[in-house]
A and B are shown apart, each in its own frame.
Chain A
Amino acid sequence: MNCGVCTAICPAAEFYDYDPRDICNVLMSKDEEKIEDLLKGDKIWHCGQCLSCKTRCPRGNVPGLLVSLLREVSIRVGLFTESEEGRRQYAIKKTLGENIINSGYCVHVMHVKPHLHPEQGPVWKWYFDNAEEVADRQGGNYNKEGSGALRKINDVNLKDLRKIFEVTGGKDFYDHIDKLSKVKAVQLKKNITDNIDDNEYFYHVYRDKSQKQ
C-alpha cells in the first residue's frame, strides 16, 4: 500500500539514507536484480531492529524482520562482504558472537573493553578496573562458580551451548563469516588474524567509515 508509516517512525530512516517501505517494495516486485542489489548493498544493514515498524503497519507486515531475513540470506550467499556495512558483521561475530560460545554471555563486564568502548566513559572504566569489588558489592558473584550475577558459567552449560551451535548450524555460520571475511581482507589488502588485537581488518570494519554516508 506504500503508506510509509514504517519509514515515518523508523530511527534508521531518519539518520541513514534508508527506507523500509522501499525495501518491501523491492521484495514485492520480485525483481531479482533489485533484490541482489539489496543483498550487496549497505541499506539492509542500516536497520536497528527496534521493530517499531511492526506496531504501526496497517497491513500487519514487519519490514524489520524482512530485513533480518535478507541479512541472513546476504551472509549465506556471501554477498555481505560486498558492502561496507555488511562487512561489519565480521567485527560483531568476532566480539559478541564469540563471547556467546566462549563465555555463555552476549555481554559481560570483561567484554566491554574501554579501548573499544570510549563512549562508555570514566565511570565504566572504573567499574571495569575494579570489576569484582564493585560487582560483588552490588551482590554479584563475579566470575565465580555458583549462581548470581556475572558468575562464571560452568562447562556443562557451555558444552551444551556450543553443541547447540554445532547442531543448528550456528557454528558453520560463524565460520562462513570468517571465511568470506578473510577473502575480502585479502582483496582489501588488510591483514587478518584470528584474534582481535593485531587484526587490521577487524579494526577496519569496526572503526572506519567512508565519507559517502
Chain B
Amino acid sequence: MKDLGFSISKSRTIDLDKADLSVYQKIIDKVPSAKLCLMCGACTATCSARNHTDFNFRKIHLLFRRGQFDGLADELDKCMLCGKCRLVCNRGVNTRAIVYNMRIILDNLNYKRIK
C-alpha cells in the first residue's frame, strides 16, 4: 500500500447496528436498577475520583450502554468504589454495583487497556 503522508480518519460515530448491546444486558441481569438511570449526573457530581480527575461515571455508563468499550477499562480504574454515588442516586440505582460489574466484564472480555 502507498503512503501519501496521511491516513484516512476513523469514524467515532456510535453505530447501534454494529455495537454489541448484549454486553450491557449482562449488567442489567446483575444490577436491574441500571435500567432506571436517567443520566442526571448526580453520581458524577458527588464522585470523589471526579474531584481529582475528569472521571465521569455517567458518561462511562452511557458509553457502556451503547456498546462503546474502548478505553473504558482504564477510565474505570480511576474509581475508588467509595460508594457515594450510590447514596445520592435519586432513582436508587446501585451505581457502585454497576462500576464493579463493568470492571469485571471488561476484564473478562479483556478489553485492551491503552497503556
- Direct touch of chains A and B (CB < 8 A): yes
B12 in the interface, Cβ–Cβ < 8 Å? yes
Count, A-B residue pairs, CB within 8 A? 16
Q: Is A209 a contact partner of B11 (Cβ separation < 8 A)? A: no
A14 to B8, CA, bound (A): 13
Q: How many residues of chain A get a CB closer than 8 Å to chain B's CBs?
A: 8
Interface size class of B (residues with CB under 8 A): under 10
Closest to B7 in A: A209
A50 to B16, CA, bound (A): 26
A14 to B5, CA, bound (A): 21
Contact of A118 among B4, B11, B12, B13 (CB under 8 A): B4
B9 in the interface, Cβ–Cβ < 8 Å? yes
Tell me which residues across on chain B come within 8 A of A16, comparing CB atoms.
9, 12
Contact of A14 among B2, B4, B6, B11 (CB under 8 A): B11
Closest to B10 in A: A15
Tell me which residues across on chain B come within 8 A of A15, comparing CB atoms.
9-12
State the Cβ distance, A213 to closest chain B Cβ, in Å.
9
A38-66 near B? 1/0 per residue, CB < 8 Å? 00000000000000000000000000000
Closest to A116 in B: B5
Binding site for A on B (CB under 8 A): 2, 4-6, 9-13
